[in-house]
Amino acid sequence: MSILRDVKRTLMPIYSGLKHVFLKPYTIKWPYERVPNLSDEGYRFDPKTGIGYPGNKGRHLLYMEKCTGCGSCDLTCQNIAEAITMTYGFDVVIILDENCYEAFKGSKPEIVKALDVILSSFSAEPSNIQYNSLSSFFWTLTGVKQVTKVDGGYEIKLSLEPIFDVRAVEVLYQKIYPAVERLKATGWELRKLEVTTESTSVELSKQDFTINILIRKIDMGYKHNRRSLFPSIDYGRCVMCGLCVDACPFQALEMTSEFELSAISRRELIYTPTMLAKRPEEFNITGVPPELNVIERMRMVFRRIIW
């Protein structure tokens, strides 16, 4: 009898497994289908009661109109993941004086070459990238975005969006010094060099031509945040504990349910304040990939119905 019982016990698992062959399968085909366990609520914190609201701890959402740049979130994160850095928004412009601009229009070789040197320096990959640190954003600027007339010359904007960085001097080290060194070799002279935390200005001249390179802080125009200081978050380091949300006394930081934060390079994982201020639906990174053909899309739609 014991042999019979053993045979029965051996066959039972096969029977219980076999039952499932005829049942409806359960597989979520990501990314064509979404994981359904997410509520739209993100984690928030109420400083009055000192208790948070339940929600998903995904990517942060920054309310720029509430943020005062106090740096509480930065201070908290320094003890956890060092993912948050307070950053200024910078504007990169090249100012050519009248002479210079006319010569540039007449495509005078030395002016064209000088501009080329400066622009290529801004678009080049930085030489020393500190991958594991937020101390410098290794951004690149490609080409001229806007030219406007200002008094005393013409202003060439290299970026319409503000560039976020810890301090202006980083730009000087990484982008401007190499260009200045190369220009000096071709007879240009460094007239003026002013460096503060909030701005950098370099004046180069040769004969009666003058080129100014300016990195200046943008005033975002928020009354409560005169310094225009906002947090940037490196998602390569963030552990999503949400303690920065707790630390914010003005409810300026929240978390959203967006969790698909993968990127191709580490640079893309650093979210600037303007990116953080966007709601997840504005990002629009989710959804069916466009490379899917019509038949596959149809199959995805009908799969649920057929089975």
Partner 1 sequence: MLFRGEGVEVVKEKVKSLEVYEAGPMLTFSMGPQHPGTGHFRMIITVVGDTVVRCDPDPGFVHRGEEKLCEYKTWITNIPHLERPAILDAAGMIYPYVLAVERLMDIEPPERAKYLRVIMAELQRICSHLYWLGLMGVFAGHATIYMWCFGDREYLVDLTQLIGGQRITHSYFVPGGVRNDAPSKVPKELVKDFRRYYRMMLGKDYPGGEVPEDFRKYVLAVCEFFDTRLDEYYPMLLDSPLFIYRTRGVGILKREDAISLGVVGPVLRGSGVKSDTRIDEPYDAYPYLKFNVPTMDGCDSYSRIMVGYYEMRESVRIIKQAVEQMPEGPVKLKQHPVTIKVPAGEVFASAEAARGQCSYYIRSDGTDKPYRVKICSPSFRNLIAIPHLIKDVRIADIPIIYWSLNYWPVECDR
Query: Considering beta carbons, is residue 96 or 247 the nearer one to partner 1?
Result: 247
Minimum CB–partner distance for residue 77 and partner 1 (Å): 9
Structure tokens at 282: 């504005």
Please report, for residues 117, 135, 136, 199, the alpha-carbon distance to residue 171 in angstroms, rounded to integers and kept in the order given: 16, 11, 8, 10
Query: Considering beta carbons, is residue 81 or 100 the nearer one to partner 1?
Result: 81
CA 96 – CA 99 distance, rounded (Å): 8
Minimum CB–partner distance for residue 56 and partner 1 (Å): 5
- Rounded to the nearest 10 degrees, the angle between the axes of helix 98-105 and helix 109-123 is 100
Minimum CB–partner distance for residue 199 and partner 1 (Å): 33
CA 33 – CA 25 distance, rounded (Å): 15
Minimum CB–partner distance for residue 120 and partner 1 (Å): 43
Q: Identify the residue whose tokens are 């500190």.
A: 130
Please report, for residues 37, 124, 240, 259, the alpha-carbon distance to residue 34 in angstroms, rounded to integers and kept in the order given: 9, 39, 21, 12
Residues of this chain that interact with partner 1 (CB under 8 A) are 6, 9-10, 12-13, 16-17, 19-20, 23-26, 36-41, 43, 45, 47, 49-57, 72, 76, 79-81, 239-243, 246-247, 255
Query: Considering beta carbons, is residue 132 or 186 the nearer one to partner 1?
Result: 132
Query: Considering beta carbons, is residue 40 or 194 the nearer one to partner 1?
Result: 40
Q: Identify the residue whose tokens are 């412009």.
A: 93
Query: Considering beta carbons, is residue 33 or 116 the nearer one to partner 1?
Result: 33
Minimum CB–partner distance for residue 36 and partner 1 (Å): 4
According to DSSP H, which parts of 175-292 are helical? Answer: 177-185, 243-247, 273-276, 280-283
CA neighbor of 160 nearest in space, from 90, 63, 62: 90
Please report, for residues 36, 61, 176, 206, 251, the alpha-carbon distance to residue 90 in angstroms, rounded to integers and kept in the order given: 40, 21, 15, 27, 25
Query: Considering beta carbons, is residue 55 or 178 the nearer one to partner 1?
Result: 55
Q: Which helix (H) or strand (E) holds 150?
A: strand 146-150
Query: Considering beta carbons, is residue 42 or 89 the nearer one to partner 1?
Result: 42
Residue 146 bridge partners (DSSP): 157
Query: Considering beta carbons, is residue 56 or 232 the nearer one to partner 1?
Result: 56
Minimum CB–partner distance for residue 95 and partner 1 (Å): 45
Tell me if 135 sits within 8 A of 170, measured CB to CB: yes
Minimum CB–partner distance for residue 71 and partner 1 (Å): 13
Minimum CB–partner distance for residue 176 and partner 1 (Å): 37
